[in-house]
Chain A
Amino acid sequence: MRAVITVIGKDTVGILAKVSTICSDYNANIIDVTQTVMQDLFAMIMLVETDRMNTDFTAFTQEMKELGTSQCLSIHVMHEDIFNSMHKI
């Protein structure tokens, strides 16, 4: 499956690095990244392939959530299909 990681919050140094480090730790392959900075608000969206991950999806989600809490960012990991089904006919 493919998951969408969204990171929203105040722009600080190394956000992308921290998120991609976790992806690499779990063997989640990053397929696409897009990011925008609106004034000082940072929004990054990352599409990752999770089929070859070395642990279950829940642990990955949990780790991302913890990173979000520690960095005062809002990080969500959600299955790609939720967006596809909602916004495509």
Chain B
Amino acid sequence: MINVNDILETIRMIQDENLDIRTITMGISLLDCIDADIDKACTKVYDKITRCAERLVKTGEDIEREYGIPIINKRISVTPIAIVSAACRKSPVKFAQTMDKAAQTVGVNLIGGFSALVQKGFSAGDLNLIHSIPEALSVTSRVCSSVNVGSTKTGINLDACHLMGQVVKEAAERTVDQKCFGAAKLVIFCNAPEDNPFMAGAFHGVGEPDCIINVGVSGPGVVRAAVAKHPDASITEIADVIKKTAFKITRMGQLVGSVASERLDVPFGIVDLSLAPTPAVGDSVAHILEEIGLAKCGTHGTTATLALLNDAVKKGGVMASSRIGGLSGAFIPVSEDAGMIDAAKSGALSIEKLEAMTAVCSVGLDMICIPGDTPAETIAAMIADEAAIGMVNSKTTAVRVIPAVGCKVGDELDFGGLFGSGPVMEVNQHSSAKFIKRGGQIPAPLQSLKN
């Protein structure tokens, strides 16, 4: 029989330390739905999503009950719509509405893939989609959008950064009545992964199979509790403790993913080794860093502790799973992490520090509220900065900032639920407009020449 202590440890992790499977995400290819007639294309999209994901939510709930492990979200990602809608030459908003309707029918809370990949330039379909993002996000509730503006191989499309600065602002302005939530469903990437199960940046890459199951695990609370048991350990020992804990967390994801894939008769893709926080007490990445020994997340030493945490999570997780992918790293979304919210409110955590942190972890400037009057060029420059970190370090970086229309520094936006609430943070007041307006492509760095 299984060791009693092991059983009690697992139960404690789930009951007291918020261990859960954050998401089971079904990736669905829509390449076979392409049609020059937008109505026909949308019908095919709706039929395919509802057919593939018909049993997704029910299967997730069954596994949850049988295995006793909470599965918080069941979600869908689809082929970037810019590719699917390119042949239609009409506004892709109709695709967003179709996705929203299909998501509602199958009972998932978010669907990702209203996306375009423009790291080296725009096609007509890409531009069409990008211009329609603010409208699409304001008329739908479940659709998430992402745009990839750079990669290590191609460099950074500065024109796309410029455009996305404006799109982020417009997405917020169009959803003022929903606390500018439109911008929270929009991610701008560099080196976007094609198999990411986490929203809002999930999309189903063109190199992926027709349908696949990807799993994202979580468990900042479990890691914090494990670190707390070793108050006097050296940092080497702490790394080891985190590694062992990450192994256990990831095994859970691997098990749930393989069971779900078997029951749905869909191939199992990857486990995303991520520490994804929630606003719930005891589920915070910032609190892990504070447990390691920082008085407040954001102070000196934050980058080093985060680098250690991120690396140890990966080392522990790699052994636990057959295939790793997605974003795989600790997330630092400000509004979704109780410790980050506290740190930002107290002034310990600034956007500049968050930017440094994104160089050593996943993913980027995430869920950060900024003043509503921040110029679009400044947002574009934030995007360019993050993309540069990703491009040079051959890693994924992203920007998801929410211009809080009508709010100033210190005010608070409350989104509710898993999206949490965030204080409006200070942004550098000096203009970056001339740089952004130059346009063009930042050339790929030497790191891209590996052949």
A8 to B9: give the CA distance in the assembly, Å. 13
Q: Which one of B65, B66, B251 contacts A86 once the chains associate, using CB atoms below 8 Å?
A: B251
CB <8 Å contact, B1 and A86: no
A66 vs chain B, min Cβ distance (A):
15
Q: Which one of A57, A74, A81 contacts B65 once the chains associate, using CB atoms below 8 Å?
A: A57
- 17 chain-A/chain-B pairs, Cβ below 8 angstroms: A3-B66, A4-B7, A6-B8, A43-B4, A43-B8, A57-B65, A61-B65, A74-B15, A78-B10, A78-B68, A78-B69, A79-B68, A80-B2, A82-B69, A82-B252, A86-B255, A89-B319
CB <8 Å contact, B3 and A87: yes
Interface residue B11 (Cβ < 8 Å from any Cβ of A): yes
Q: Give the number of chain A interface residues (Cβ < 8 Å).
A: 28
Q: Which one of A32, A43, A83 contacts B10 once the chains associate, using CB atoms below 8 Å?
A: A83
CB <8 Å contact, B65 and A45: no
CB <8 Å contact, B68 and A85: no
Interface residue B310 (Cβ < 8 Å from any Cβ of A): no
A43 to B7: give the CA distance in the assembly, Å. 11
With A6-B11, A32-B1, A82-B255 known to touch, is A87 a contact of B68 (CB < 8 Å)? no
A42 vs chain B, min Cβ distance (A):
13
Question: What residue in chain A is nearest B68 (Cβ atoms)?
Answer: A78
Q: Which one of B6, B67, B251 contacts A78 once the chains associate, using CB atoms below 8 Å?
A: B67
Contact flags B1-33 to A (C-beta < 8 A → 1, else 0): 111101111110001000000000000000000
A83 vs chain B, min Cβ distance (A):
5
CB <8 Å contact, B67 and A79: yes
Interface residue B146 (Cβ < 8 Å from any Cβ of A): no
Interface residue B77 (Cβ < 8 Å from any Cβ of A): no
A43 to B9: give the CA distance in the assembly, Å. 13
Interface residue A28 (Cβ < 8 Å from any Cβ of B): no
| Cβ < 8 Å to A, chain B residues 254-306 | 254-255
A47 vs chain B, min Cβ distance (A):
6
A36 to B4: give the CA distance in the assembly, Å. 10
With A82-B10, A86-B10, A86-B251 known to touch, is A58 a contact of B3 (CB < 8 Å)? no
A89 to B2: give the CA distance in the assembly, Å. 13
Question: What residue in chain A is nearest B63 (Cβ atoms)?
Answer: A79
| Cβ < 8 Å to B, chain A residues 43-89 | 43, 45, 47, 57-58, 61, 74, 76-87, 89
Interface residue B323 (Cβ < 8 Å from any Cβ of A): no
Interface residue A39 (Cβ < 8 Å from any Cβ of B): no
Contacts across chains A and B counted by CB atoms under 8 Å? 68
A47 surroundings in chain B (CB, below 8 A): 1-2
Interface residue B248 (Cβ < 8 Å from any Cβ of A): yes
Q: Which one of A3, A76, A85 contacts B251 once the chains associate, using CB atoms below 8 Å?
A: A85
Contact flags A2-15 to B (C-beta < 8 A → 1, else 0): 01101010000000
A6 to B1: give the CA distance in the assembly, Å. 13
CB <8 Å contact, B1 and A34: yes
Contact flags B125-151 to A (C-beta < 8 A → 1, else 0): 000000000000000000000000000
B4 surroundings in chain A (CB, below 8 A): 34, 36, 43, 45
With A86-B6, A86-B248 known to touch, is A81 a contact of B1 (CB < 8 Å)? no
CB <8 Å contact, B2 and A83: yes
CB <8 Å contact, B67 and A81: yes
A53 vs chain B, min Cβ distance (A):
12
Q: Tell me which of A1, A34, A80, A82 has the highest count of chain B C-beta atoms within 10 A of its own C-beta.
A: A82
A3 to B69: give the CA distance in the assembly, Å. 13
A79 to B5: give the CA distance in the assembly, Å. 17
B15 surroundings in chain A (CB, below 8 A): 74
Question: What residue in chain B is nearest A32 (Cβ atoms)?
Answer: B1
A80 to B4: give the CA distance in the assembly, Å. 12
A80 surroundings in chain B (CB, below 8 A): 2
CB <8 Å contact, A79 and B1: no
A26 to B15: give the CA distance in the assembly, Å. 26
Closest 7 CB pairs of A and B: A78-B68, A87-B6, A85-B255, A79-B67, A85-B251, A83-B2, A82-B67
A36 to B374: give the CA distance in the assembly, Å. 62
A84 surroundings in chain B (CB, below 8 A): 2
B251 surroundings in chain A (CB, below 8 A): 85-86
CB <8 Å contact, B66 and A83: no
Question: What residue in chain A is nearest B69 (Cβ atoms)?
Answer: A82
Q: Which one of B6, B65, B319 contacts A83 once the chains associate, using CB atoms below 8 Å?
A: B6
